[in-house]
Amino acid sequence: MRWRRIKDSLATRSMYLAVALANSIVFLVALGLFVKARPILATTSVVQLLFSSTWHPLRGQFGFYPFIVGTLAVTAIAMILAIPVCLLSAIYLSEYAHRRVRELVRPVIDLLAGIPSVIYGFWAVIVIVPLVRATGGALGSSTTGYSLLAGGIILAIMVFPIIISVSTEVLQTVPVEAREASLALGATRWETVKHVVVRSALRGIVASIVLGFSRAFGETMAVLMVVGNVPKVPTSLFDPAYPLPALIANNYGEMMSIPLYDSALMLAALVLLLVVAGFNLLAHFTLLRIERRS
């Protein structure tokens, strides 16, 4: 009896230890990156870092502006492409599709989510890049195809599964009674969707988009493989760009040999972490409230 009690209390203690560890990881990561980023923050002002376009690591000049613009641009393109496709798909799955179709499509979408990002990148190099090159050529701009647009397209595809599965789930939490009330008043199915279902699920849909955004924002390999990686502010869809994650991934090799370079890259990682964690928490609270209500 005593042994059982001791075992129980030991088990409890180790579980709490695991919880404490799991909880501290996010802080440890942020702290570690911050400590490493301090040297560069000490020499250069944040404004300088964020808004200068001069990127000369050898001369100690680290202006993140082109990379920040690159990240934002490629993410924005991805979201513009993905949002309509995903929402229309989600509405179809939730409101129109037969239950069996929904159950068939769901694992397929999960499968899409599980494909490694290098595979997406690989596919994009083979399929998307030539397509963009041809389109660019037809529009009269000579491009290699490795461009903002190619990066945006592959990112859009990568966020499909997140936005579709979360927003389908949210749409399904809208009570049947709400739909019935609208249909009973003589609304068509689409009008019901438009005025009742989507409206009451709006917060959750926004949350699903936020989740997709944060996934796109930090995605590294697939984008890196197709976006061209030229540290200049892009001016057209067919220009190459250089997002922050790609910057980190491409330069880990030499970062230890140039002063402050590693510090600059760790700062970039910290920025990614903070932005993405912030957006994730926003989505977390929104979805939590929906879950509690339903």
Q: Segment 195-214, which members bind other proteins (CB under 8 A)?
A: 211, 214
CA 32/CA 252 separation, integer angstroms? 17
**Does residue 178 interact with other proteins by CB under 8 A?**
no
How far separated are the first and last CA of the chain, in Å rounded? 44
Q: Give the nearer residue to other proteins in terms of CB position, either 15 or 236.
A: 15
Give the residue, chosen from 40, 248, 264, 290, that forms a contact with other proteins under the rule CB under 8 A: 248
Phi, psi (deg, nearest 5) at residue 287: -70, -35
Q: Give the nearer residue to other proteins in terms of CB position, either 148 or 224.
A: 224
**Does residue 159 interact with other proteins by CB under 8 A?**
no
CA 267/CA 34 separation, integer angstroms? 7
Phi, psi (deg, nearest 5) at residue 56: -135, 80
**Does residue 50 interact with other proteins by CB under 8 A?**
no
Structure tokens at 138: 């037809």
User: Which of these ranges, 3-11, 130-138, 172-180, 199-207, lies near other proteins under the rule CB under 8 A?
Assistant: 3-11
**Does residue 242 interact with other proteins by CB under 8 A?**
no
**Does residue 80 interact with other proteins by CB under 8 A?**
no
Query: Residue 271 Cβ, how far from other proteins at the closest point, in Å?
Result: 10
Give the residue, chosen from 2, 42, 47, 84, that forms a contact with other proteins under the rule CB under 8 A: 84
Give the residue, chosen from 68, 73, 109, 170, that forms a contact with other proteins under the rule CB under 8 A: 109
- In 205-276, the DSSP E strands lie at none
Q: Which of 294, 37, 279, 252 is nearest to 162 (CA)?
A: 279
CA-to-CA dists, residue 167 to 89, 92, 232, angstroms: 10, 11, 36
Q: Give the nearer residue to other proteins in terms of CB position, either 47 or 106.
A: 106
